[in-house]
Amino acid sequence: MASNRKKVLVLGTLHPDGMALLEGRDDVEFEVIEDISEENLLRHAPGTHGIAVRVARITRSIIEAAGCLEVVSRHGVGYDSVDVAACTDNGVRLAIAPRSNAPSVAEQTMMFLLALAKQVAVYDPLVRRGDWDKRFRTQAIDLDGRTLLVVGLGRIGSRVVRRAQAFDMRVLGYDPYVAPDAIRAMGAEPVADYRAVLGDVDALTVHCPRNDETLGMIGAAELAALRPGALVVNCARGGLVDEAALVAAIRSGHIAGAGVDVFDVEPPAADHPFFQEPRILMTPHSAGASLESLKRAAVQTVENILATFDGTLDPAVVVNKAVLQRTEAS
């Protein structure tokens, strides 16, 4: 006898708090898939109603093979690995977990700014090598009184604004999709054109999705326009800051340091030029992977699937809202 329970595929490991939500539903059966190759997912896809996904690629073939798929729920806010058009074409909601990683990435951004300003990468090895007398050859700086430009003022960027204010920084904010009054309410000075203010900026951080509008938005010209000795941070998506231009600006000395959590190609190649530059601090796309963030992401990822089954999914977490409009119209 065929089961009338909803079938959910969990691709990868989720925090136990998220799994507990699935375990608590008698009307749901789930399977955890560790082999996330497309070939294996195609074998498991038929009859699937919901997919919880961390890093697997969700292709059109997988979506269509399911046959009755209702929702793909991303463990986080990025969805580069999901075929959005295929979801929309097949009436599948693509949901994200917006409350998951915003505090974590905002803190990572401030960590980079502080570590760069205070020359941690230089001072720590001096202590370990016993080169105490060389400590004054490197000059740390204060964030206090410096001007920070935050490009992108969504869930993460708005939090960076508040944290930078706590360090008494002057904060400029750019986001063409956020009203100037809302930017002021965050505590930032709104700017209409981020390129026009670069000459006043000591530190720049980007918090935007990767798309045709944002790809390469910080290139050689933008880096050259920053104040000499500026700091650059990218905890958003690879490609927003041109990697070759950043290396060149670091090597010329115009940019004093950079913090990078994301790369054009991940993982980066073994001969990536960033590896030769001690003034570029790097983390492995892990800014949003704190203990708390993973818990929040797992819970909301599963909540979004169950809410879809229950008809209570919050439209605010749905990427392809055209599916919701089509459902309402029918």
Backbone angles phi, psi at 23, to 5 degrees: -65, -25
DSSP helix/strand/coil, 292: helix
Q: What is d(CA 143, CA 80) in angstroms, rounded to the nearest whole number?
A: 34
- The rounded distance, in Å, linking the Cα atoms of 127 and 131 is 6
Cis peptide before 267 (omega within 30 of 0): yes
**CB-side neighbour CA atoms (13 Å) of 44:** 20
Q: How far apart are CA 120 and CA 215, in angstroms?
A: 30
Lookup: tokens for 309: 């089954």
d(CA 194, CA 198): 7
Coil/strand/helix, residue 65: helix
My answer on whether omega of the bond before 228 falls inside 30° of 0, hence cis, is: no
Residues with catalytic roles: 237, 266, 285
Which one-letter amino acid corresponds to residue 198? L
